[in-house]
Homo-oligomer: A and B are copies of this chain.
Amino acid sequence: MSGPQAPEPTLEGQADASAGSPDEDAAEGIQHSHRMLSFSDALLSIIATVMILPVTHTEISPEQEFDKSVQRLLATRIAVYLMTFLIVTVAWAAHTRLFQVVGKIDDTLALLNLACMMTITFLPFTFSLMVTFPEVPLGIFLFCMCVIAIGAVQALIVLYAFHFPHLLSPQIERSAHRGLYRQRVLGIIVRGPALCLAAAGFSLFFYPASYLLMAMVIVLPHVSKAAGWCRAQLVGPREPPAHSVEVFTFDLHEPLSKERVEAFSDGVYAIVATLLILDICEDNVPDAKDVKEKFQGSLVAALGESGPHFLAYFGSFATVGLLWFAHHSLFLHIRRATQPMGLLNTLSLAFVGGLPLAYQQTSAFTKQPRDELESVRISCAIIFLASIFQFAIWTTALLQEGETLQPSARFGGREHAFMFAKLALYPCASLLAFACTCVLSSFSTAIFHAMQIAVPFAFLLLRLLVRLALAGLRALQGLVGPVLAWPAPGAADEAQSPLLPAPC
């Protein structure tokens, strides 16, 4: 927690600088890394999310019941998906930190980054292999080799960048302790691969130890963070050695660039929205022969048969779209993302990535009324978890609101009430739908999807309602006494006045 505010201006300055003076940079073959980072974010977010496809493509024949064995199969695959998501996110976070140190790229770094991406895209495969053959050393071995290869490429990137210091971020480039920085960055990068090397070794004679070591790779940053925090609480903040103050203000544990968190999240939402339409296109274009034989050539009848799928599609797309919208509104009011917020965001995204499963569940089981309520409940649970973690990001941000939030979203700020309503909408709606499945026996997937489609209008209503409520509160306060000033709603109204259209 040492100096969490100090590095931020530098990082923002770096982001600003990346917009400027492209002429000079391009001339030297050196580029600010903005576009490469967006590309990497897109790639990593898609990789993290596509692993839901083996889950949704689990074949369940119509005769088969949704029994224990199917549930166990699904549970295993879901666990694989969640773990893969977390692992790729850890790789992404490491990548983010790496390119907070490396500010610019040249051709060699761009190629090294591509090599790094290629190795990361191979992670899901080796992980699937490891889960399918948990006791075979080769699976563990390949997975570890993959992690080690990623670490090696990242170490190469660091060494190369420190060899040509003009590629580093300005703060480090100007620093007198560059050597120390390099040591520290390399240490952080090599830590995970070193554990994996040990795990690969253990896989040959005692494989449970390997799993323990690999679990450590994921929890290590959080554990060391928590340990540091505990120590700070017990014995007071550690006095940094005088000569290296500058080194340790650049805390590599602390900041996740807000821009990159947004880009990664956008990628996840975009691919989730698209996986839905992919299913529609692959399964629901009726076969020309079928239409002739089954429906006497009537395309309308054939399409009518997959009507529920379209309803499910529109409902699911609306849900993904609005969760993105809530995320977008939330991050508009966030100044910087702390590590706990990053973790909550990852968890929220992991469940957003599960939405295609919810869609598949509610559209595949429409013909089995017994399981219908079950699948609606699963969908509600996924949506609830995705949205409650979004809500948790906000509440976590409120704990340190001075650092993390824009003034308008803080307690008493203009947008505070509306933000609360916006983020609470989906948790409440999904709980309501869940309750309905328990109370109403006639509740069906069709009603569920209709509810999903209705939510956008609720969003529009919400602003109206919140404004009315605030106006009511203000009127009430005016009655109680004009001494107690409530600045927020008044300011909001003043801000509204220029919104009225000027006569043109």
Contact = CB atoms under 8 A, between A and B. Distances in A.
Interface string A468-504: 0000000000000000000000000001001101101
Contacts of A50: 274, 277-278, 281
B129 A35 contact: no
B463 A291 contact: no
A27 B114 contact: no
A455 B499 CA distance: 56
A456 interface: yes
B281 A125 contact: yes
Contacts of A409: 26
A271 interface: yes
Which among A46, A262, A281 has the greatest number of chain B C-beta atoms within 10 A?
Answer: A281
B408 A317 contact: no
B282 A57 contact: yes
Interface core residue of A125, A318, A502 (most chain B CB under 10 Å) = A125
A266 interface: yes
A191 B456 CA distance: 29
A280 interface: yes
Nearest to A130: B285
Contact of A269 (B39, B415, B460): B39
Interface stretch (A321-329, A337-345, A429-437): A321-329
A343 to B, nearest CB: 21
A463 B286 CA distance: 53
Contacts of A465: none
A235 interface: no
Interface stretch (A131-139, A375-383, A389-397): A131-139
A194 interface: no
A111 B456 contact: yes
Given A299-B136, A456-B111, A271 B165 contact: no
Contacts of A242: none
Given A107-B329, A321-B117, A408-B27, A273 B43 contact: yes
A449 B448 CA distance: 49
Given A125-B280, A267-B270, 19 more contacts: A16-B19, A26-B406, A27-B407, A29-B415, A35-B262, A42-B271, A46-B271, A50-B277, A53-B278, A53-B282, A107-B325, A107-B460, A111-B325, A118-B314, A118-B318, A129-B285, A129-B303, A133-B288, A164-B501
Q: Which 8 A-B pairs have the closest CB atoms?
A: A42-B270, A27-B408, A114-B321, A46-B274, A121-B277, A128-B285, A43-B270, A39-B266
27 contacts: A16-B19, A22-B332, A35-B328, A38-B263, A39-B269, A39-B324, A42-B267, A42-B271, A50-B274, A50-B277, A51-B281, A53-B282, A107-B459, A110-B328, A111-B460, A114-B321, A114-B322, A114-B456, A117-B273, A121-B277, A125-B284, A132-B286, A133-B291, A163-B501, A165-B502, A166-B498, A178-B504
